[in-house]
Chain A
Amino acid sequence: MSCNRAASVWRLAVKYSICKRSSRPRPASQEPVTLGPEAHKSAQGFSASSIGMPRKKARQSDGGATASAYVKSEDEGDDDAQPEPTDRPTLPHHLQVQHDYMVAGEHLNYNTSTVTSALAYLGLGIDNQWDLDEFKRAFRAEVAWISKDTATSEEDMEFDLQGIDPAIANAFRRILLAEVPTMAIEHVFIINNTSIIPDEMLAHRLGLIPIKADAALFQENAAADVGTENNCIIFKLKADCKKRVPSGTIVNDSVFSRQLVWLPKGSEIPDETKCKFSGTQHSLMPEGCAPVHDDILIAKLRPGQGFEVECVATKGNGAEHAKWSPVATAWYRLLPEVALLDDITGADAEELAEKLPGLFTLDKSGAAVVGSARDFPQLHEKVRALANEERWRDRMQLRKRKDHFIFTVQSTGILPPDELFIRSVDELSAKCGRLLERL
């Protein structure tokens, strides 16, 4: 027993000495850096030659609209950045890198989790508790691009959110997919169907057609019994395929979404649909109501076939059925960075510039300069493979900033993507509000 204790004391002593050694003053290039969102931007500890992307140089090699937009935000950040108070306790360099970056290893990624415990760095005298002012200082939103396809009226958007935790960013993403309400066809009343498409399949196909209507104007049809002008939109669709007698041409053999006719005065078969409007919907939707796309193929018919249906669109969200999801998809990725851990010069630098064209360039002295990894996504896997080879292992790294999210939102065209994101943010806030009311 005493022997064991002696052994453990000895082990502790060894551990202690290791700790002491690692906390010795470092060379100037590896000074501990200030904890805080601006830390990676403040020059000390991340000098271009040691660790971190040489940002000034990276900027020179940037090109294209996306890159310039992103770099602009960085410049603004640099202007805003105040010198950090020197008396603030700082995280040791290796912990700061773990705090900020996920590292892409050969078979798996390292440091993937974020440090959220308030007391995580208590032993170092560093406070990690929630601080709204700190968040506001660090947070940045920047739109990379907005594209609008005029032919289909679909809109896509890419934007950056910096200085935010994945728990919040993921909540926004999940709400975008599943909890921003839209209008979609939910009930289809089949008056006649002589086509080869079964009733239920026809109803399903109609349900998936995006309807250009702002769901904020409508109420949820919670009771699901009576439809009114405030909780549903009604369309009718009548298609009959015929063969013209003398010419033999077939008309109406393809039924498109443009043939859906909006019924602003309500259902024509109110006893069946249980939708009774007390007025018209013209005041609600003065520009009318129609599918987002007019060329969605609903059915193919042969002469003599046809169908007549009435469709009731109701308000819902993607959690219930994907047809109510306002996005084709919405996702985020982390900002990639290629870090030089060492000066790479001479033949090695030339080899990198050749293997990773564009991403690596040579400066006047022949040293390797790394550009913006974001602009070379096709090279990321190559960098990952190279960086895990024995030769380059300690010299470069593919890594990703854990608090920098690049969101891409592809709208179905019902609402513009920026409006969708705003609604998802407001919905998270509303969720908290509803919970607060009950506490």
Chain B
Amino acid sequence: MVTTTTAAASSSDAQEPSSETFMLENEDHTLANALRFFLNKNPHVEFCGYSSPHPADDVVNVRIQTTGEISAAEALRQACRSCQEVCAHVNTCFKDAVARKHASMSQ
């Protein structure tokens, strides 16, 4: 699902590079745009953008350049976790709202 191309000469396991392009396969604007939002909200991310190379290709390229404090992969991991936390909160709040509505409708 994820393959990366690195701007740096080589990516060793010891140290992840600070600039990377992640190819997300079987994903589109839905996930890429949401992740871009969280990545832009990260002060350690110097640049973040994504593109869909071709509308017929089921792939998006997410480019991340960090200021060096964290690696690009770490920034992406943080964005994923933030997105999951938001989803969990939206899920509970929405269920509460539906329960409130059903309670008020049955009265």
Report the bound CA distance from A34 to B73 in whole Å: 34
Would you give the shortest CB distance from A278 to chain B, in whole angstroms?
31
Contact A433 B84, beta carbon cutoff 8 Å: yes
CB-defined contacts of B107 to chain A, threshold 8 Å: none
Query: Which of these, B33, B80, B85, B87, contacts A435 with CB under 8 Å?
Result: B80
Report the bound CA distance from A438 to B23 in whole Å: 11
CB-defined contacts of B2 to chain A, threshold 8 Å: 435, 438-439
What is the interface of chain A mostly: helix, strand, loop, or mixed? helix
Contact A435 B94, beta carbon cutoff 8 Å: no
With A432-B83, A435-B24: A425-B76 Cβ-Cβ less than 8 Å: no
Question: Is B6 part of the binding interface, using a Cβ–Cβ cutoff of 8 Å?
Answer: no
Question: Is B10 part of the binding interface, using a Cβ–Cβ cutoff of 8 Å?
Answer: no
Contact B90 A139, beta carbon cutoff 8 Å: yes
Query: Which of these, B41, B83, B84, B105, contacts A128 with CB under 8 Å?
Result: B41
Report the bound CA distance from A425 to B102 in whole Å: 20
A-B contact count (CB 8 A): 127
Contact with B along A111-136 (1 / 0, CB 8 A): 00000111100000000111010011
Contact B87 A426, beta carbon cutoff 8 Å: yes
With A418-B98, A435-B80: A130-B42 Cβ-Cβ less than 8 Å: yes
Closest to B77 in A: A439
Contact A425 B80, beta carbon cutoff 8 Å: no
With A129-B42, A143-B101, A439-B73: A167-B37 Cβ-Cβ less than 8 Å: yes
Offer 26 A-B interface pairs, CB within 8 angstroms, sorted by A: A116-B37, A118-B40, A118-B42, A119-B43, A129-B41, A139-B90, A141-B90, A141-B93, A141-B96, A141-B97, A143-B97, A159-B94, A164-B90, A168-B34, A174-B29, A178-B30, A179-B30, A422-B91, A422-B94, A425-B91, A428-B31, A432-B87, A435-B2, A435-B27, A435-B76, A436-B80
Leading 7 A-B pairs by shortest Cβ distance: A167-B37, A130-B41, A429-B87, A143-B101, A432-B80, A118-B43, A438-B2
- Name B's A-contacting residues (CB within 8 A): 1-2, 24, 27-31, 33-38, 40-43, 45, 73, 76-77, 80-91, 93-98, 100-102, 104-105
